Amino acid sequence: MTQWSEDLIPIERARTLDGLFFQRVRRSPARVAYRYYDRGGDGWKEWTWAEMGAQVARWRAALAKEAVAPGDRVGILLRNCPEWIMFDQAALSLGLVTVPLYTDDRADSAAYIVTDSAIKVLLVQDANRWGRIAEVLGDSALPVRVILAEPGREAERLARTDPRVVMAADWVPATAPVLTQREGNTDALATIVYTSGTTGRAKGVMLSHRNVLADAQSSLTLVDCYQEDTFLSFLPLSHTLERTAGYYLPMLAGASVAFARSIAQLADDLQQIRPTGMFAVPRVFERVYRRVLDQVASRPLPVRWLFRLAVHVGWMNFEREQGRRGWHPLLVLWPFLRRKVATPVLAKLGGRLRITVSGGAPLPREVAHLFIGLGLPLLQGYGLTETSPVVSVNRIEDNDPDSVGVPLRNLEVRIGRDDELLIRGPTVMLGYWNNHAATAQMIDSEGWLHSGDQARISNGHIYITGRIKDILVLSNGEKVPPADMEMAIALDPLFEQVLVVGEGRSFLSALVVLSADLWPGLAMEYGLDPEVEKSLDDPRLHKELLRRIREALRDFPGYAKIRRLTLTLEPWSVDNGLMTPTLKVKRAQVLSRYAEQVELMYAGDA
């Protein structure tokens, strides 16, 4: 049986994020810090904290030889791996400012971040990614140094022909002086994180060492973390949730982190790593939810009935443990149902998850109900990049899945005009990089950050009720929250992506991306050719899909009804500019792309 023990580093002793790393190396030199999959060696490898300290010293020595000074910006465009940590810590220890970039972002977006933040040194995954960015940058003088992490023929060619480019293996020295803790300023700028805005250019959120340390420390008062924990890291480290909660928080607590290979290999990684903790966005849980339901649907009727019973009784048991209901005779079945149904399902997630947190977007209630009913300790949280990012999270012993939890203890929250959630405290950003006007709009003269989210606070919990800017107002004055409707519709596996439209109109319509896997079978049911685009306009098909959507929206008010559809098989993605790197749909861009189709849906409407 695992013995859980705390080993928290006081942030007063750390002072800075690189000071935190130094303190952890000194305190836990022999403990495993990181696990990663060595693609060349075809197996999982480990780095201890002492070994990581030696590696960071080497990367620090390499950076120190470049033309950089404290306050200069350096960029990381790298998948999750120990080298991400090495470069980040090396840069921070020199007083540099780290700017993370998404590996799957568009080249023009990455180039914009490079120039806007004036990145001088850029660590890039491979030659192909740098080539695409360089093409957009053109004759730009920045960056002055490009380090390619992965070797290869093209990387070697670039290193020979472009004086800016160097291979990481050649750039990092074999030895370096031992790390020492610097006298860093805790209020100094540590990182600029570009928000994946759904409209317009991304804004650079400036976070200080204090911002991030305060957020990680306060999060630990709500979510316990131990030396014996192993976190599986698969959200990109350029995502603030993963960086704070999946990188700095485990470092604060002395836990180890394993870097997942890819989303496609996540199921296998869960089996091999068997993590005790994991942070994810709802999209990940939704995918697993769909997969579980698809597998159950193919089983015999008695198995399906037993599964539904297990979820139902498991949820009753959860509610009883939370003190929200009394005993019920069905609860006597829970030990049997847990052993026969719930445990085998959770074993596919590694079987050891002690804590799982969903954040970044609302978690559909049906998804939470299923996983919690099966006994998964799933907590919903809430945050913003501008708040480092965690604002609130549910606690194991006080978990209301309809809420986004209780606020961190070092934060003040209140409800402002138009029911907007306002936040004030040490985790609130310094401001937006080179954008004083946007900063003034976001943070008022009293220091309150305006979240843009509508909320209510009850029994100490925060409940998000909508987005101020995302409410659709129909021509009859009825107000509709499209995100809630889209989330409910997308639980149907046939609907891959959904955008509800109807601002200023007399009724609602929807743009729908159908599942490429399920479309051929559906088309054949109606005698349609799945390869012919015109098949998507078939009236019988639309009638059936509207029926399915009506069923998905049965709990919504009567006026929240979809009357017309535009169907497509082309996914909205980062590549085609219709999604942000954090997988949020760019509503304005989608509406612009499908403007003609939207007008056709309302043709003849008075």
Interval 80-109: pLDDT, tens: 999 999 999 999 999 999 999 999 888 988
Average pLDDT for 260-272: 92
Residue 325 and residue 247 in one domain: no
Neighbours of 537 (CB within 10 A): 12
Residue type at position 81:
C
| Neighbour tally for 58: CB within 10 Å | 18
Q: How many domains does the chain have?
A: 3
In a domain, 177, yes or no: yes
Residues 285, 367: contact at Cβ < 8 Å? yes
pLDDT digits (tens, 9 = 90+) for 395-444: 999 999 999 999 999 999 999 998 999 999 999 999 999 999 999 999 99
Q: Which domain holds residue 576?
A: 472-601
CATH of residue 239's domain is 3.40.50.980
Lowest mean pLDDT among 209-213, 470-474, 514-518: 470-474
Same domain membership, residue 117 and residue 57: yes
- Domain end residue (candidates: 352, 376, 393): 352
Q: Same structural domain for residues 27 and 156?
A: yes
Tens of pLDDT, residue by residue over 150-204, are 999 999 999 999 999 999 999 999 999 999 999 999 999 999 999 865 445 789 9
Out of 352, 380, 398, pick the residue that ends a domain: 352
Query: What is residue 606's predicted lDDT score, i.e. its pLDDT?
Result: 42
Token pair recorded at residue 53: 């300290």
* Claim to verify: residue 288 and residue 252 sit in the same structural domain: no
What percent of the chain shows pLDDT beyond 90? 80
pLDDT in tens, 533-549: 999 999 999 999 999 99
Give residue 362's pLDDT: 81
464 in a domain, yes or no?
no
Please write the tens of the pLDDT for every residue from 31-56: 999 999 998 777 999 999 999 999 99
Secondary element (H or E) of residue 24: helix 17-27
**pLDDT at position 461, please?**
98
Q: Are residues 42 and 138 in the same domain?
A: yes
Mean pLDDT of 524-530: 91
Cis, peptide link before residue 389, omega less than 30° from 0: yes
Range in 57-71, 144-158, 414-428, 518-532 the model is least confident about: 518-532
236 shares a domain with 307: no
Closest CA to 484 of 556, 403, 565: 556
Residue 41 is assigned to a structural domain of this protein: yes
Whether 161 and 23 map to the same domain: the answer is: yes
CA-CA-CA-CA dihedral for 13, 14, 19, 23, to nearest 10: 70
Length of the chain, in residues = 606
* pTM of the shown model: 0.84
User: Does residue 338 fall inside a structural domain?
Assistant: yes
Tell whether 487 and 584 lie within a shared domain. yes
Running DSSP on this structure, what letter comes out for residue 144?
S
List of residues 6+ apart from 604 with CB closer than 8 A: none
* Same domain as 309, residue 239: no
240 and 312 together in one domain: no
Position 528 confidence tier, pLDDT thresholds 50, 70, 90: very high
- Report the C-alpha gap between 111 and 101 in whole angstroms: 10
**10 located within any domain:** no
Q: Percent helix, strand, coil in the chain (nearest 5)? A: 40, 20, 40
For position 566, which CATH number holds? Answer: 3.30.300.30
Mean pLDDT of 381-396: 96
Torsion sign over Cα 78, 81, 83, 84: positive
Q: Rounded to an integer, what distance in angstroms lies between the CA atom of residue 465 and that of residue 454?
A: 5
- The whole-number pLDDT of residue 475 equals 67
Instruction: Tell which wins on pLDDT, 416 or 285.
Output: 416
The angle at the Cα of 403, spanning 397 to 404, to the nearest 5 degrees, equals 85
Question: Would you say residue 403 lies in a domain?
Answer: no
Domain closes at, from 328, 352, 376 = 352
Secondary structure (DSSP) of 484-526: HHHHHHTTSTTEEEEEEE-TTSSSEEEEEEEPTTTHHHHHHHT
Mean pLDDT of the chain: 93
Q: Which ranges in 348-446 belong to alpha helices (H)?
A: 365-373, 436-442
Judged by average pLDDT, the poorest of 332-336, 438-442, 480-484, 592-596 is 480-484
Least reliable range by pLDDT among 339-348, 470-479, 584-593: 470-479
